[in-house]
Structure 1
């Protein structure tokens, strides 16, 4: 199979050319050369981009994703890292489930006002203490 130019890779993968150039700059993918002004890529880049997309969807950073590839470019994924991310996702899912249930309660609460609903007030206290919601990334600024 012949190399693909950057436009073909973008079209097949759904990844914009600007992102492909950024991934190349970060060392996540490598072009095989140029044809005129267009970067050329080995067709195997599509599988690599799929793994990058999966890693991003799971919440891995680009640096973590870069470590999922051996020096020869083949996937070499640390299973402990996957298990740790799965545990992190379980925690996030639990918090989001509580948040969803809380919103459903607030939407259907029979109390005359939310301020008179003991469950809603308990939800507010939990939210104020950080007990409800999605965990923030380490180092992320706190909202005002």
Structure 2
């Protein structure tokens, strides 16, 4: 398959050409040359860009992603690094679940004002200190006669 010009790579990878130039500057991808003023890329760059996109969506920095490739350009992904990132994502998910549950509680809290709701006050304290709020404690409902 012939080389692809930068516009075609940008279209297929759904990234701006400026991102491709930046990735090339960072050493994440390499062009094979130029045709006129346009950079040319081997079609294999699309798979590499897909790996970069996956790494970015998982929260890896570009420097971390760069270390996932061997000097010959082949993927060399450290499984321990993947496990550590998965653990980090799990912690973030738990923190976001607690925050979501707390906000849902505050939304239906029977207190006359949010500032009178203990759960909402806990959310405010957590926001001020940059910590995750403790899980909302569900109120026991007493059955109506």
TM-score interval, smaller chain: 0.7 to 0.9
Partner of 1:26: 26
Cα displacement (A) at 1:71: 0.8
Cα displacement (A) at 1:95: 0.8
SS state of the match for residue 73, structure 1? coil
Higher mean alpha-carbon deviation, 118-127 vs 56-65, is at 118-127
Separation of aligned partners in 1, 2:116 and 2:70: 59
Separation of aligned partners in 2, 1:58 and 1:30: 23
Q: After superposition, what is the alpha-carbon deviation per residue over 1:102-126, rounded to whole angstroms, capped at 9, x for unaligned?
A: 1111222111111211222223233
- Please say if 1:37 is aligned against 2:37: yes
What is the RMSD of the two structures over their aligned residues, measured on CA atoms?
A: 1.2
Q: Which has the larger radius of gyration?
A: 2
Separation of aligned partners in 1, 2:42 and 2:101: 47
- Please say if 1:108 is aligned against 2:103: no
Cα displacement (A) at 1:127: 3.0
Separation of aligned partners in 2, 1:36 and 1:125: 59
Task: Name stretches of at least 5 consecutive residues in structure 1 with no aligned partner.
Answer: 134-144
Separation of aligned partners in 1, 2:41 and 2:115: 60
- How many residues end up aligned between the 2 structures? 133
Partner of 2:78: 78
Partner of 1:140: none
Cα displacement (A) at 1:63: 0.5
Cα displacement (A) at 1:13: 0.4
Partner of 2:7: 7
Separation of aligned partners in 1, 2:64 and 2:101: 33
Task: Name stretches of at least 5 consecutive residues in structure 2 with no aligned partner.
Answer: 134-145
SS state of the match for residue 131, structure 1? coil
Partner of 2:99: 99
Separation of aligned partners in 1, 2:122 and 2:17: 48
